[in-house]
Structure formats: C-alpha cells, structure tokens
Structure 1
Amino acid sequence: MEKRNVTSDFILLGLFKDTRPHLFLFVLVMTMTTASLTGNALTILLIHQDSRLHTPMYFLLSQLSLMDLILVSNVVPKMAANYVSGMKSISPAGCGLQIFVSVTLGGGECFLLASMSYDRYVAICHPLRYSVLMNWRLCWQMTLGSWFLGAADGLMQAAATLSFPYCSAREIDHFFCEGPMLVRLACTDTSVYENVMYICCVLMLLIPFCLILISYSLILSAVVQMRSTEARKKAFATCSSHLTVVGLFYGAAIFTYMRPKSYRSANHDKIVSAFYTIFTPLLNPLIYSLRNNEVKGAFTKWLGKCRILKC
C-alpha cells in the first residue's frame, strides 16, 4: 500500500450520520455535554468556595471533576465541529493531543479512585487518626502522583502511536483519536507495540483496582464488626457514591481495553467510548451530589448567595 507522510491529516468518520434520528442523537449528546460541563464545574466551584468542604475527601473529588471536565472538552468540541461543518479531518498533532489527554485522564483517574478508596478506609476504620493518616501532604502527593503516572502513560502512548508510518487509507472509524483505532491504519507490524500497550493498560487498571479491593475489604470487615446499625448505615452511605463511580469507570475501561481482538467491533468501541467520555462525566457529579448532604448544603448556600447578590 502507498505510504503517506505522518504530517497528512487523518479522517474521523464520527459518531453520527446525516439522518434525522442521528441529528436528534447529536442534540441529545450536546445537551448531556452541557450538563456534564456545568455539573463538574459547579462541583469544583462549591468545593473551592465552601470551607466545610475543605477536606482531603472533597479535594480528591474536585480533582475527579476536573479530570471529567477536561476529558469532555478534549473529545466533544472537535466531534461537534466536524459534524456541523462536515470537515472530518484532524491533524496528526491534534490526534496525538487527543490520545495524550484521554490516556492521561484515564490512567490518572484509576489512581485517583484508588486514593479516594484509601481516604474512605481511613475515615471508617481509623476515624480518630484521620488527620494523621490522611494529612494534606499525603493528599497532595497522591493527587500529583495520579496526574504524573497518567501523563507518563499518555505521553508514551501518543509518541509511540504517531511514530508509525501510515498508509493512504487514513480513515479512523471513530469520533476521536484512540491509540488502538489509529494503530490499525499503520503500514508496518505493530504486534510488539500492541502487546506492550495491552500489558501497560492492564497494569494501569489492575494495580489501582487491587488497591481499591483491599481498601474495601478492610472497610467491609470493619463495618461487619460495628454494633450500631446507624453507624453501619452511615459507613455504607459514605462509600456507596465512590463504589458506584468505580463500577462505572472500571466497567467501561475493562470492556474497552481487556477484550480479545476477536470480540471487538467499531460500533461497540464507539458506544463504549461515548459512555466513558460523555455519559460517565455527567453521572459522577450527580452521584456525589444526590447522595451527599454536605454537597447539597453547599449548593443551597451558594444559591442563597446568588439570590442576595441579585437583590
């Protein structure tokens, strides 16, 4: 096949077609995107402004919202612009940026969720020593470590993916650049790279997941030993939001990166990618706000301030 220079643009086939049902789906996705950006931005604002939320638990939650905010901004605007304008091209630099940002946020969120599970473990199993075991220095170290590990993985994958020569067929059957989809267009043997990336993705998923399992095993053991029914309910309420988010994130991630090639299809990949890049970032602030009285209280307080300022 004819090889093209790496500077040639790629073509994103997109998520929607030029039909009335797909136009409706596009409007629905844009509505969800607006709600997602608003919800995550509002979560960050409330945690920043309300002094009652200035704790490691809510700081980690604000970082989760920040990651979701960037993830949606990395994918949806380009997808929307391509659909509206009909121009489906994306430059290699833009493609590399999308791969870097999406992998950075995916890997970073893995470790951030593990950090949040440790925070819940300390809060429930060692409440009297919480300020010592979960101090601000450790909180910052875990946060920066999550961003750094995700960025290292993202930089490696983006650089390696764009280093391959690509053929004349530059059409990516997706709505944004993902490494596995892009590598399929390479005009060289990529089996070694794919095996290394597969192992890397598995480790990035399984190491934090094992830490989460250990934390919640210890939490479950502690909850079972509690004599007070009220204490048990409070402990479960504290953990339920985080467990729901972990289930959504890891369900989509495992389905995306740990399936055998024989079970993969472009349509399935696009649906799952839409779920974790658009739908999950919308659900996360809703899950934490609807099940958290402190967040709802901060939101009520913020609304009261806005009304006073308008008056």
Structure 2
Amino acid sequence: MGKDLVLKQNTLPIPSLSDTDGLDSYIRFANSIPILSEEEEKELAKRLRYQNDIEAAQKMIMSHLRFVIKVARGFSGYGLPITDLIQEGNIGLMKAVKRFDPDMGVRLVSFAVHWVKAEMHEYILKNWRIVKIATTKSQRKLFFNLRSSKKRLGWFSDDEIQSVAKELGVKPETVLEMEKRMNAYDMAFDAPIEENDDERSFHPAMYLEDQSANPEQALAEEDFEQKTQEKLQAAIDKLDDRSKDIIMSRWFVDEKLTLHDLAAKHNVSAERIRQIEEAAMHKLKIAVLKL
C-alpha cells in the first residue's frame, strides 16, 4: 500500500454532525449501510493494502460507522457532545482501516476498537477539564477504569476503595487521589465582577495579597519622587548656559539633538560636547543623591 495514502472524513459522502437534526440523520444513515461479510471485508482490505484502492477503504469505513456510534454512546457520561466523540472515533476508525492487515485472521471491528477508543480517550482527557487530571499512561488507565467502576453517585466508601484498588492493582491512596481529581471542578481564576453587590462570587484571585495597596508606601514613594524632581531642577538651574542647553537638548525634549548637531550649534567638536554632557550629568547625579 502506498505510503502517501491519507484518509479524511470530509471526503466521505455522509450527513453533517453539526446539529441535533444532523446527528439523527447521521445515525439513520449509518444504520442503513449493510454490514460487510467476512469475505467482503477481506476482499476490500486486500484491495486497499495491495492496490491502494481508496474506494475500498471508504466502503470499509462506512460499514463500521454504526460501531463508532455505539462506542461513543458508552462515553456519554463525561458531559461532552456525542457528535464530537463520534468524529474523534471516526478518526480512529480511519487509522485502523489504514493499518488493517487482511491476513491477520481477525475482523476489522476487533482490530479497530483499540484505535476508536484511543481517539475518544484522548479527546475526553483534553476536554473534560481545563486542568488535566491524567497525564501518564497509568493515570489514564486508572481514570477510565475508575469511571466504569463507579456504580453510584457520591464518594467511594472505604470498602469500595479497597475493592477497586485490588481490582486495578494499585494502592488505595492512588484511587482516592484520582477520585478527588475527578470530583473537582474548574473555577475561573479571575471571574467577572458581579453587577449586584449582594451576589458576589469569590474566586481565587480575591485571596491574593494586593502588594500595591499600601498607603504608607505609596505616600513615601510620592514624597521621594517629588523631592528628587525638586533637586534635579535645582541642579539644572545651577549649570552654565552651555551645559544646561546640552543636557536639555539631549535628555528633556522629544526631538533630541545629536552630538554633531550640538557641536555645530556651539562651534566645538562632537567630542567636546560629549565631555561637557558627561561632566554635567555627573553634577546632576551628585545633587540628586545628596542627602
């Protein structure tokens, strides 16, 4: 089979999944497609594998759309749109069809179940919470096994924790930690301000210390800045006219003059302007830093 074979869902003539009516039409369409016999499936798989026959691949995919729907319904308890789960599952089905070997001696549905569930698992873990609750392979396995093991609403009892831990081969503390993550909910760090003061919502950002709300520090900084400005202005006034003009032209105007501009203005070299500027800046620093 050619390495450049790419299967895309939008190349298949199937109804849209964009709305509820589309979902109903899609399910009716998927159920109307005949299930392939073992001989038909094997023949199509050979055509795809050895002849790179895209039409054969599409027939195999479309005959298994109902299988993806069935798997997606099994993950409906996560609060995610079933249409999205079906789309992700179809991606897994396409990957399975592309890799299916007709000489393996198994039906496509048995081979594809891993690929279909893997895509749905990945989608659920990425979208079920803003903060990921399962990142490692073992955590992902525990997450889905724990969901399927939970027979009722509410927290596990101690006996249930011990039973699940034994069944999954993990420590009870691991089961308890994952259950805490699963029962947690997302909260906006900085929620919008409520217009009604009587209905305030407390969010994490409200518990942070406001470092800027220090009246004493703010007053001290304002006083220091004011005194610094007064010292600077007084120091500038004590400069000779040429030094004052150079400093003002180089530092206190929007359109600053270059050393060469000032050299031409005062009829000296640019190096001399630099020396005068440096000496004036030194005087200003001393005046400002002086207690």
Which is bigger in relative contact order (C-alpha 8 A, separation at least 6)? 1
TM-score, length-scaled by structure 1: 0.23
TM-score, length-scaled by structure 2: 0.24
Judging by fraction of residues, say which structure has more helix: 1
Larger Rg: 2
